[in-house]
Structure 1
């Protein structure tokens, strides 16, 4: 019997998933890991295989494949589509089969987007979801965004066949680096800032949703985490190192575009017609408020703040406009 830790990975070629996989590849105990990734691209699969990762070409939504792989896994990283209930259920089905056969509880680490509203840039709301305040999190209705997947995952932990951890990383930023980037496997940047740059270039002026008075938490992609003993109902972990005003981020984009001869250095409000054409504008106008008390109490100490975030826009603009 192998004494290696069997790890199943979905979302390995994404911006966040790639950051997690990169840490596993560089882990001092990497030789003890047996990592299997599910990826769509045969070309990327070949490159991952050369890094010591076993690969199955397919989708995280291929239920039969995912269930079979999960049934063999000690640890599952679910970092693909957080709203795909079919994929999540396939993982849980496999982990349950493993427990029924071996009596061993696997670990499921599932990432999900931060909770948002529909403020359209008009205000900041005062409710801050603290991951140490589970009662507050549970006031969210079952119909709230992402809950249709989160709740079955928490219920699986309660049933007793798996330990579950739900990570909510907020607005992640920073350039991707490492082996996966060098091989062209991983996405270089998160979605939001490149989208704001592209929209600004297309309209000839950086934009902002409404007045930009809404706020979001932020966290750098390479901030290290810590051990996480609490799981199940208490196994929510936010990732944040402060909140930024959306207007300030859009202002940073405007400054960089203006420096390149695109518009002036003050963002203007997106029009109703622009809202209809691009869903990301609606996201730009939302609020997401959270507090990462649990991880910080365990010793996690993120260092990159809002000024670092705004300063990063220059590099994103360079790459985005060049491409």
Structure 2
């Protein structure tokens, strides 16, 4: 590999976010200089990825030695697969440390977390005026260590502080939009999100739009196109002028361009149900504890439906 090429390792390319990021890397003005390696679980999808010029390795995030080795071979890591697999993230960090020690490189690690880190336990029954700002690291550091995704993010920031890797954490919010690109057409990428479809499926099961509590919990939202663009904008900024791009404790980036209450989503589901003849009443009703267990496999509210402090 020539010095003019950039080695990239990316996880999660068959997913909603990762596939969109990979598509943008393949369309990037510097795409001819990218040597992209992707980790995928499916040998069939690995073969399809090869036709896009991507080196695809079959394995999972739980293959820690493999993850470490692949990471050690890359200057840039886009991690879009699992925000809460601590051992896999440790393998990635071990790989960046190995690369730094043996090659002298300072890897760029862009990790995917989520605004679930900002949730509290209002369970849909209250709102808040607190706004979290990704330009305010002191405010972010005030989050409890027990917050959703927080244990992983703290370990990533700690690695940056040691100095063998520069870390950047993107926190998408509720992502919406149906993806259409060649990776979807090839059967490689999942084209739809998780959060709202999960609520739709639960509502279909009860034949009435459902919500947690009163549905007044706030959540930021962002389109798939915008959040995928964020990864590329961030990467380009790092390459162009790394000293001006916050990393480590200053390297949190919220993916957000609006907000909604969960009532508004559930009401829209209810109106669609009436139009489709599934229900006669568009007004959503509160999910019972039994329904939360049945449809979301937990007692209490799923993190995506809890109160969230706004982000900017």
Same fold (TM over 0.5): yes
Q: Give distance in 1, aligned partners of 2:164 and 2:304.
A: 39
| Distance in 1 of aligned mates of 2:156 and 2:132 | 19
State yes or no: 1:221 paired with 2:224: yes
Unaligned runs of 5+ in 1: 293-323
Given candidates 181, 184, 189, the residue that maps to 2:187 is 184
Aligned length, in residue pairs:
292
Query: Could you tell me how far apart the structure 2 residues matched to 1:194 and 1:247 are?
Result: 15
**CA–CA distance in 2 between the matches of 1:179 and 1:284?**
30
| Superposition deviation, residue 284 in structure 1 | 4.8
Structure 1 segments, 4+ long, off by >3 Å, are none
Which residue pairs with 2:241 in the alignment? none
Partner of 1:103: 104
For 1:122, the equivalent position in structure 2 comes to 125
Q: Which residue of 2 aligns with 1:245?
A: 261
SS of match in other structure, 2:302: helix
Deviates most, 112-121 or 37-46? 112-121
The answer on 1:259 being equivalent to 2:279 is no
Distance 1:196 1:291 in 2: 23
1:270 aligns with 2:287: yes
Q: Residue 39 of structure 2 contacts residue 57 of structure 2 at CA under 8 Å; is this kept in 1?
A: yes
Q: Is the 8 A contact 1:9 1:38 kept in 2?
A: yes
Structure 2, unaligned runs of 5 or more: 239-244
Note if contact 2:129-2:310 (Cα within 8 Å) is conserved in structure 1. no
TM-score using structure 1 length = 0.87
For residues 18 and 30 of structure 1, the distance between their equivalents in structure 2, rounded to whole angstroms, comes to: 15
Aligned to 2:45: 44
Q: How does 1:57-206 map to 2 (within 5 A)?
A: 57-114=58-115, 115=117, 116-206=119-209
Q: What TM-score do you get using the length of structure 2 for normalisation?
A: 0.90
Measure the CA separation in 1 of the matches of 2:67 and 2:305.
Answer: 35
Offset of residue 131 of structure 1: 0.5
CA deviation string 1:71-114 (max 9, x = no partner): 11010011111111110010110111111112110100001121
Question: Match of 1:167, SS?
Answer: strand
Q: Which moved more, 1:192-201 or 1:76-85?
A: 192-201
In the alignment, is the contact (CA less than 8 A) between 2:202 and 2:295 conserved in 1?
no
Tell me, yes or no, if the aligned pair for 1:171 and 1:219 is still in contact at 8 Å: yes
Distance 2:126 2:47 in 1: 48
Deviates more, 1:264-273 or 1:158-167: 264-273
Post-superposition Cα deviations, 1:166-225, rounded to whole Å, max 9, x if no partner, equal 000111111111011101111121111211221222111111111101100000010133
In the TM superposition, residue 126 of structure 1 has moved relative to its aligned partner by 2.6
Shift of residue 288, structure 1, vs aligned partner: 2.1
Residues 113-158 of structure 1, C-alpha deviation per residue, up to 9 Å, x if partnerless? 2122222110112322210111111111222221211111111111
